[in-house]
Amino acid sequence: MMFVRCAVSLILLLTFLSAAAANNKTEKQTMRDQEHVTFYPSYGYLDDDQWRIPLRVWVHEHDGWFGRQLSKLSKRVVRNKAGLEQLSVDQQAMFRMRFKDFVADSESFEAVHIRFDGDPESEIMRLQSVEGDKRTDFNGLLLAELTLSQERAKTLLAAQQSNNGWLTFEAVGKDHVGAGRIQLIKPVGHSVISDIDDTLKITEITEGEAVVMMNTFFKPFQPVPQMQALFKTFDEGTAFHYVSGGPWQMFQPLSEFLFSDIVGFPHGSVHMKNVRLHLLEGETYGDFYRLIKLGSKASEKQKIRQITEIFSHFPQRMFTLIGDSGEHDPEVFAHIREQFPDQVKTIFIRDVLNDAENNADRFKGMEVIEAESVLIDADG
């Protein structure tokens, strides 16, 4: 709840300033520059005889004049919330990197085309949603679905010499630059679904607004050591899904941290919270309502929805669920276990509140990891 509360006022401020910026672009600023296409890591699942691949795509530009002004103003707001009077050069650079997607210029009405790396047919595919939408909305988003026949997928996997189901692709078009990756996951096997904040990355949500802002925007991210040890025990064929209550705007710095060679968490699909900012997009107001009215309950509902969807796509796979006690992960996972009792193998909870002693009922049927402990083996 603390992370949600401290973000609300900042996001509202950004929204109205972004609207003003959009209405005041100069002719020079509206000239087309190279646009970045972010493809969030996803997965493919077999449906009858073809692979279905849900894709979330965001088209945007960085480094516009208004974006820089928004970033400067936001930096002062966030700095004050973090309890800092002055920022070092390193802290300023870190804030710009972590915050840039909050103030990026989303590009609406964009068509997005991709080509798989090494494709012997060099096929260019235009992305579209299940409903038939072929262009991005006012928030620069396109929620697409790509389908591949099993034979086509086999050809692409062979061309990329992939033995773990991963396929890479790139945006195609003179104005677009970006690359993505998806994993074709077999119907039978073992999957891990994990939270991020205070599960894999130390955020200290329970310590209050100033600490959360400091750890999110001004300090180097720190991994949770026992979780690094836990993840190393999973078999090579395990598939991973990361489900976070954090906003999609934090995806880039989080992914660069989690999947770096030094930190070393396995690549997997990523699922985060919608916080859309464009005032002409109707769904923006739904995001605001859930963020302000529902608070941390919004994250709970979001996680249940996203995890349920993953389970429904893989009814024959077994799942390990990993989270922490700081907010609602035990309750989310208990709900999922009730819905899919035959598919939940193990639930691990990192106990950051000492609830194992003070509120043990939260952890019924779950494996508790003390926040300071080091776990050696998860499958043994």
pLDDT digits (tens, 9 = 90+) for 254-306: 999 999 999 999 999 999 998 756 545 555 445 444 454 445 567 899 999 99
pLDDT at 358 over 50: yes
pLDDT in the model for residue 66: 57
- What is the CATH code for 190-370? 3.40.50
Looking at the chain, the whole-number percentage of residues with pLDDT higher than 90 is: 63
Q: What is the mean pLDDT of residues 38-51?
A: 98
Domain extent listing, the chain? 37-59+110-184, 190-370
Gap between the Cα atoms of 136 and 108, Å rounded: 5
Gap between the Cα atoms of 79 and 218, Å rounded: 9
pLDDT in the model for residue 209: 79
Gap between the Cα atoms of 353 and 332, Å rounded: 17
CATH architecture observed for domain 37-59+110-184:
Sandwich (2.60)
**Averaged confidence pLDDT in the chain:** 85
pLDDT at 316 over 50: yes
pLDDT in the model for residue 99: 87
Please choose, from the candidates 106, 149, 114, the residue with its C-alpha nearest in 3D space to the C-alpha of residue 275: 106
pLDDT digits (tens, 9 = 90+) for 63-89: 665 566 666 667 677 777 777 777 888
pLDDT at 336 over 50: yes
Please choose, from the candidates 53, 52, 61, the residue with its C-alpha nearest in 3D space to the C-alpha of residue 32: 61
Gap between the Cα atoms of 50 and 148, Å rounded: 6
Helix (H, G, I), strand (E, B) or coil at 234: coil
Gap between the Cα atoms of 251 and 273, Å rounded: 10
pLDDT digits (tens, 9 = 90+) for 10-29: 554 444 444 444 444 433 34
